[in-house]
Structure 1
Amino acid sequence: MKIVGTGIDIVEIARIAKSYEKFEANFAAKILHNEELSEFEGSKNKATFLAKRFAVKEAFAKALGTGIRDNVHWRAMYVQHDEKGKPLLVFTAEFAKQIQAEKLDIHISISDEKKYVVAQALIVETIS
């Protein structure tokens, strides 16, 4: 196993709340994949939900070394949870092919505490 990249992002929830208040559904639609929208609609704290997704996608883009641009965009990925609640980053079909071709495993962690959300992404190359 070889570490390809690591990224971390911290987001102030109030900053995301302001963007959501200003742009509402357009802001959510910009950063959320369709798979995340129904969970978002049912969430009690929409700003925290958005901040978590924003932070983890930024952390992944930093780990990849590209930032959010070109084929690494907000809606090319979404967060799901396994049966134990562990967050998993899932990719659209096109982007998933690239990840698989490069034999990459993605590990993420997301935490929130009152005013902030922090997320970390670790990209490792699997050696078979």
Structure 2
Amino acid sequence: MWNAEDMDAPAVMARLAATIDAHNWDELPSLLHEDFVCRYVHTGEVFDGPAWVRLNAGYPGFEHLVLEDCVGTDNRAAGRSLVTGRSGQQLQHFEVATFITLRNGLIAEMTEVWADVDEVAPAGTRPG
């Protein structure tokens, strides 16, 4: 068993990503504070801990989450992850920015912003 009080926010973010990538839904609640709340900026949805765990565990077609970058302090971290999943036979790619705040070593607040990287930018908006 890990001791949450001994980990800074970037370490907790890395553990969160590894837990989700492994589809270890039984361990996921152990990373969340009892007052956990998650906000999805892009949709306006707000989840408590049990609802957020159910959403992740039941998300259709989810395959992997890879934490590609993470910065932070003792109690706050920001991370960027690549998420892949399938819709039928088609592989989908998403980028997600995740911001966490810890309380007593557990994630008390989370904000996520998701983007579908398979979308094509409108003509004339790409650099170069």
- TM range, smaller chain: 0.3 to 0.5
Report which structure shows greater RCO (CA 8 Å, sep ≥6): 1
Provide TM-score, normalisation by structure 1: 0.35
Larger radius of gyration: 2
Provide TM-score, normalisation by structure 2: 0.35
When you count helix as a share of all residues, which structure comes out higher? 1
